[in-house]
Amino acid sequence: MYDGWRYYHTVLQRARWDKPLYLGSLDIVHTAPTYAVEQAVIMVQGVWRKRQGWKMLMAAMASVWSKTVDPSTGAVYYYNYRTGEAKWEKPLLFGGKDVEDFAGQLEEMQTKQRER
């Protein structure tokens, strides 16, 4: 049925009048733009590098912070080896993760980088 819109698939190079099922309730104006291969590669690389940087930061944080249990109260506290700081609250930079989630990863990541 013609409603004034024509849908064109840029990869398959095909046109159609009916809306593709994968658009669901959305329409073309609400979906992501189509990128050239080079643009898409640059975007994916940027996301990957950001993720790797975040992992490296968390691993570095875990290498200086330890999660310890106070024997007298049984409460958990965090100790920073580098600064000597001890605190009851988890460092904010860890977010929803914890020190154990990244323990030992810094050395592993540095070894992999040296091997490249």
**Cα dist from 92 to 11, 58, 74, 79, 105, whole Å:** 44, 11, 22, 14, 19
Name every residue whose Cβ is closer than 8 Å to that of residue 76 and which is 6 or more positions away in sequence: 67, 68, 69, 70, 88
Range in 27-36, 39-48, 55-64, 66-75 the model is least confident about? 27-36
Domain boundaries, the chain: 35-115
What average pLDDT does the segment 82-95 reach?
90
Pairwise CA distance, residues 116 & 63, whole Å: 22
What pLDDT score does 29 carry?
A: 61
Please, which pLDDT band fits residue 71 given cuts at 50, 70 and 90?
Answer: very high
What average pLDDT does the segment 81-88 reach?
93
Q: What is the CATH number of domain 35-115?
A: 2.20.70.10
